[in-house]
Amino acid sequence: MSAQISPLAPKSYAKLTPVDGVTMATAEANIRYKNRTDVLFVLMDKGTEVAGVFTKSKCPSAPVDWCRTSLAQGKARALVVNSGNANAFTGKKGAEAVELTAKIAAKAVNCKPEEIFIASTGVIGEPLDATKFNGVLESCAKQASPDNWMEAAQAIMTTDTFPKLAGRKVLIGDQEVTINGFAKGAGMIQPDMATMLSFIFTDAPIAAPVLQALLKKGADNSFNCVTVDGDTSTSDTLMMFATGAAAKRGIRKIESTSDSRLKAFKAALDDLLAELAQYVAKDGEGARKFVTVSVSGATSNASAKKIAFAIANSPLVKTAAAGEDANWGRVVMAVGKAGEPAQRDLLTIAFGDIVVAQKGARAPDYSEEAASAYMKNAHITISVDLGLGKGKARVWTCDLTKAYVEINGDYRS
């Protein structure tokens, strides 16, 4: 963990209220870090439905392999997350470590191993000694409380400088349900289906296939729109658990994505996912500025997203942001290299509300002074209109600072 907290961290946190059917505890298992919690154990009521989206990496971690397989049966009783070791590229030993973890956890909560979901984050290539969970998970199960959300978000941090958690309350019919979630991020961030690690919990009674559809769509507009460095982790995991405990309060189970009661829930979930995803960009390694890249007028939404990522991943655009330099020429370059339909002489580029370029040249009333003043903000929006069609996209990123190089040149994470 870095000593210096990101200047983009939230100034305060609202305390999350319990999610009916969910309890948790954290512990120090000394996996890699000393004198800090590095294990999270979340217990969930019988009947909890689960959904997940995972990294598209061709070299996924052992826990990702495990979760993908277990997801098929759609039920969950517990989640184990450790920080300090990603259990990725660990071969047969890695798979064995996951199996042992599931076995220890299943014994602690008295369920089947396939109802245990597992995620690991940290160093790649080091064997993970799962015997360290022996006793630890059992003791966590005994201490688990419905109020440990902040502790949970802290236990899964690696180079993160602040914990990332958020909650929403929303009505299903006339009954209120809760959605809470937390995430971790920092580096190796351009999720390709999900980010590093994020977990969402609700007491709403929603069947796994519906939950999966909601989560996949929600991820596309949140975590899949974030990049820190264009590097996709081996361990990206976004999971959602629905305990269904709110059924006690008379909410009929939601079995179809066309259920009209889902509308408000979906909006609240999307909003929550966006908040967590933005935290990931705001805690990008070395981040000092939060940058929103907004592309419109593309030939399709997919094309707009590729162009937005070309801008958001360009080291030259990101260093210009760090240097508070209104260098829109680099935005032109990034649009040009994206390989998507673009016509130089139709381009419009704005920093905030300041139009800097239009019709293939500098804007007639361009003011370097005004643009430079805007770049001093902590939150910057770069907008590009291609003038070709109706496709649009919005992605979030951060600036590229010397601290990013320092963190990743000095620290084996």
The β-bridge partners of 199 are: 182, 239
Per-residue mark of binding to its own copies, 204-243 (x: CB under 8 A): -------------------------xxxxxx---------
Q: Are 327 and 333 in contact (CB under 8 A)?
A: no
Is 285 assigned to a binding site?
yes
Instruction: Decide if residue 192 touches its own copies (CB under 8 A).
Output: yes
Residue 387 interacting with its own copies (CB under 8 A): no
Per CB under 8 A, which of residues 93..122 are in contact with its own copies? 93-94
**What single-letter DSSP state applies at residue 79?**
E
Closest CA to 16 of 293, 291, 316, 275: 275
**How many Cβ atoms are within 10 Å of 141's Cβ, its own excluded?**
19
Query: Is 195 annotated as catalytic?
Result: yes
- In 75-174, beta strands by DSSP E: 78-85, 116-123, 164-172
Q: Which of 167, 197, 169, 163 is nearest to 180 (CA)?
A: 167
Burial of 158 (0-12, 13-18, 19+ CB in 10 A): buried
In the complex, the smallest distance separating the C-beta of residue 409 from its own copies, rounded to whole angstroms, is 3
Residue 49, marked binder: no
Task: Tell the smallest beta-carbon distance from residue 318 to its own copies (Å).
Answer: 9
Comparing CB distances to its own copies, the nearer of 247 and 370 is 370
Smallest distance from the beta carbon of 341 to its own copies, in angstroms?
7
- Amino acid present at 336: G
What 8-state DSSP symbol labels residue 186? Answer: S
Nearest-approach distance from CB 280 to its own copies, in angstroms:
16
By the rule CB under 8 A, 378 interacts with its own copies: no
- The strands making up 39-44's β-sheet, listed across from edge to edge, are 22-27, 39-44, 78-85, 116-123
Distance CA 165, CA 150 (A): 7
User: Nearer Cβ to its own copies, position 222 or 348?
Assistant: 348
- Of residues 55, 195, 237, 348, which has the active-site annotation? 195
| Footprint of its own copies on 270-299 (CB under 8 A) | none
Q: How far apart are CA 61 and CA 393, in angstroms?
A: 30
Candidates 23, 101, 161, 401: give the one binding its own copies (CB under 8 A).
401
263 known member of a binding site: no
Task: State the minimum distance, in angstroms, from the CB of residue 300 to its own copies.
Answer: 15
Pairing of strands 22-27, 39-44: antiparallel
Nearer to its own copies, 163 or 191 (CB): 191
Shortest reach from residue 128's CB to its own copies, in Å: 12
CB 282 within 8 A of CB 398: yes
Q: Which stretch binds its own copies (CB under 8 A): 30-38, 97-105, 188-196, 250-258?
A: 188-196
Q: Which of 88, 32, 36, 92 is nearest to 63 (CA)?
A: 88
Contact flag: residue 74 with its own copies (CB under 8 A): no
Taking each helix axis as running N to C, give the angle between helix 328-337 and helix 315-322, from 0 to 180 degrees, rounded to the nearest 10. Answer: 160
Question: Per the annotation, does 408 bind a ligand?
Answer: yes
Site size toward its own copies, by CB under 8 A: 72
Q: Does 402 sit near its own copies (CB under 8 A)?
A: yes
Alpha helices for 283-391 (secondary structure H): 301-313, 315-322, 328-337, 368-375
DSSP state of 166: E
Choice from 37, 55, 159, 303 touching its own copies (CB under 8 A): 55
Question: Scanning residues 301 to 360, which ones bind its own copies (CB under 8 A)?
Answer: 313-316, 319-320, 322-323, 325, 327-330, 332-345, 347, 357, 359-360
Using the contact rule CB under 8 A, the part of the chain among 1-9, 145-153, 182-190, 261-269 near its own copies is: 182-190
Q: Is 134 annotated as a binding residue?
A: no
Residue 253, number of CB atoms within 10 A of its CB: 16
User: Is there a binding annotation on residue 234?
Assistant: no
Catalytic positions are: 195
Q: Where is the binding site for substrate, in residues?
A: 158, 184, 195, 285, 408, 413
User: Which residue positions form the known binding site?
Assistant: 158, 184, 195, 285, 408, 413
